[in-house]
């Protein structure tokens, strides 16, 4: 796949995710937070979607029915994992990441509807190569980690300078 095809696919998925997020915001505004996740459906959106689609696991050529179900898959491309929980946990992120890998999809949205302001309950999760190197996909936590890693040499340098100046003064 060439760069233009990759960019086109990214743009299509980004646009689809923006559209879906707009619908989720609308539903959240209308119904409010805290309802069971099944209440947050967007049937009149005009988007093709499957709800609670079974997702069997293939392991060494054997089909295992583990009871995995995708909350939503929109336009056959975007996986939505909906929650109505007090807070999103790392296991929720791992669950969506696993679904993306098993389904060989690149983008998923983890959305917790049990928040007063929906933007606080949205996590964008990427997998695979499509978004690799796309700087827009870095999370705030990822950016913080990069910043911390970049600042370690400066911190060590200042620590060493401070240590040597206090030794010289003493």
> Cα-flanking dihedrals φ and ψ of residue 77, to 5°?
-125, -40
| C-alpha dihedral, 6 to 11 to 17 to 23, nearest 10° | -150
Q: Residue 159: is its pLDDT beyond 50?
A: yes
Q: CB neighbours (10 Å) of residue 162?
A: 10
Q: Is the pLDDT of residue 140 over 50?
A: no
pLDDT value for 134: 58
* 107-112 β-sheet, strand order: 49-54, 69-74, 78-83, 107-112, 122-126
DSSP string computed for 51-63 = EEEE-PEEETTEE
Q: What pLDDT shows up at residue 60?
A: 84
For 87-101, write each residue's pLDDT tens digit.
999 999 999 998 998
Q: How far apart are CA 89 and CA 158, in angstroms?
A: 36
Strands 57-59 and 49-54: unpaired
Mean pLDDT of the chain: 78
> What digits encode the pLDDT tens for the residues 20-51?
998 888 888 888 887 765 555 666 678 888 88
Res 147 pLDDT > 80: no
Span 53-65, average pLDDT: 80
**Range name among 77-86, 121-130, 153-162 with the lowest pLDDT average:** 153-162
Tokens of 61: 């050529």
């Amino acid at each position: 796949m060439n760069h233009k095809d990759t960019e086109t696919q990214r743009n299509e998925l980004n646009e689809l995710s923006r559209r879906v997020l707009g619908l989720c915001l609308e539903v959240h505004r209308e119904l409010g937070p805290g309802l069971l996740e099944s209440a947050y459906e967007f049937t009149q959106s005009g988007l093709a979607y499957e709800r609670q689609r079974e997702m069997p696991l293939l392991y060494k050529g054997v089909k295992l029915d583990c009871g995995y179900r995708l909350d939503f898959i929109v336009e056959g491309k975007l996986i939505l994992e909906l929650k109505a929980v007090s807070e999103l946990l790392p296991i929720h992120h791992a669950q969506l990441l696993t679904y993306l890998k098993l389904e060989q999809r690149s983008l998923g949205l983890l959305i917790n509807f049990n928040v007063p302001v929906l933007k606080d309950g949205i996590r964008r999760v990427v997998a695979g190569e499509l978004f690799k190197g796309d700087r827009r996909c870095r999370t705030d936590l990822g950016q913080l980690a990069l910043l911390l890693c970049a600042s370690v040499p400066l911190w060590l340098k200042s620590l060493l300078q401070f240590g040597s100046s206090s030794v010289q003064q003493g």
